[in-house]
Amino acid sequence: MAEKQRPYRRHSAVTWAAGGLALLLAVLTGCGGPATERTGPAAVQRLLDARAAAVRDGDADAFLKSVDPSAEGFRDQQRRMFANLRGVPLADWRYRVVRTGAFPLPGATGGGPRIAAEVRLSYRLAGYDTVPVTAVQYLTFTRRDGHWRLSSDTDGAADGKRTARQLWDQGRVRLVRGEHSLVLGTGQSAVRLRELARRADAAVPAVTDAWPGRWSREVVVEAPDSVRRMAELLGSPDDSAYEGIAAVTTGEAGASARAPADRVIVNPEAYGELSDLGRRVVLTHETTHVATRTVTTAATPLWLSEGFADWTAYRTAHRSPRAAAPELTRAVAAGRLPERLPAAADFGFDAGADRLNRAYEGGWLACRMIADTWGEGRLAAFYRAMAKAPEGPEGLDRTLRTELHLSASDFTSKWRAYVQDVLA
């Protein structure tokens, strides 16, 4: 029996930041006069600069000096986080205060004035990130004995301001270096991490062969220990949205070639249920998203971006259309040939498993049809051309006419006939 494929999704979970330092006047709770309001943000930035230097230098004592000694539980958590970073190949680590007064502070519990700040953490992994990856943090700073100290990173959660979590916030990080990959994991065996590195290493040349363009040819894979931890890394409070999702790629669609590297985040539960072929398909699919990110824009329809990733993954798998598209095969057999190409809503996590699988399968067959009819080079050219098209149906229609000499309506008709032919 053909294995039912898991849906794979690209997810833009990380906010990339640029621009100058924006230090606003602090909104303080508790005591504090005008002098504190003027100097608080600058003092907090200096504290964060010293904290970042401690991370870069591997100085645990200096790092803990940035934390409020009265916040004992938080201080213990920060001590563990710093220890979890040991061995992670950091090329850089910095903080930038974006704004103060970022969220309502809970009632005062004693002590001095407090600042609620939105902060950007920027870091680079040595040998993999050419530009810093950035993540938003919502931090509370308390002034005690004339000094500002970090006292919490959860006060903003009640207002929907959740600090972005990283793998080292979840536990000790173990890493495996591959020829083209770096795999970071928590709560994972060395065997599992080596297996992920081996598959990522195999995916890179497979993607390079299918995608004739410049890209980093390096993949960073993160392997948390549960689907709940996976959702946490993606900034989602609902882990049920990722049940059955084997892997997700984070990144910024349409970013420049100097944009931060993507992260492939693996769901250990769903990934563990896949066959050998399924795991190969997952890692190749997600690596394709890494390679094509810079030419994937809001104008790129999801059937094309997801279909191209699946086409690349199945390109050398010798998988028949009926075996690779079981949901669509059943629909066609029942006389339910799709009327249209998959829409964005069909790829939603809440679309339901059958509908979601049919969307992926339909996108894959659309890309397979282009490669079979016009050639693989034309498929890649069509993908690139869509990056320059206006967003919406008119942009798609115009690009189809230019690249394939078909209107959107004619292309859809041709695709429907192709689906009927290869799955009937």
At 177-221, the pLDDT tens digits run 999 999 999 999 999 999 999 999 999 999 999 998 889 899 999
pLDDT at 10 (0 to 100):
39
Mean predicted confidence (pLDDT) in 269-283:
95
pLDDT at 184 (0 to 100):
97
pLDDT at 111 (0 to 100):
62
- How far CA 350 is from CA of 136, 172, 335, 363, in Å, comes to 26, 33, 25, 18
80 pLDDT more than 50: yes
Mean predicted confidence (pLDDT) in 100-105:
95
pLDDT at 58 (0 to 100):
97
pLDDT at 238 (0 to 100):
81
What pTM value is reported for the model? 0.85
d(CA 269, CA 355): 22
Mean pLDDT of the chain: 88
Kindly list the domain boundaries of the chain, sorted by start residue.
28-164, 297-424
Architecture of the domain delimited by 28-164: Roll (3.10)
Mean predicted confidence (pLDDT) in 253-276:
76
Note whether 225 and 186 are within 8 A (CB): yes
**18-74: pLDDT as tens digits:** 333 232 222 333 333 333 444 578 999 999 999 999 999 999 999 999 999 999 999
Q: Place 398 in a pLDDT band, splitting at 50, 70 and 90.
A: very high
How are beta strands 181-185 and 219-223 bridged, if at all? parallel
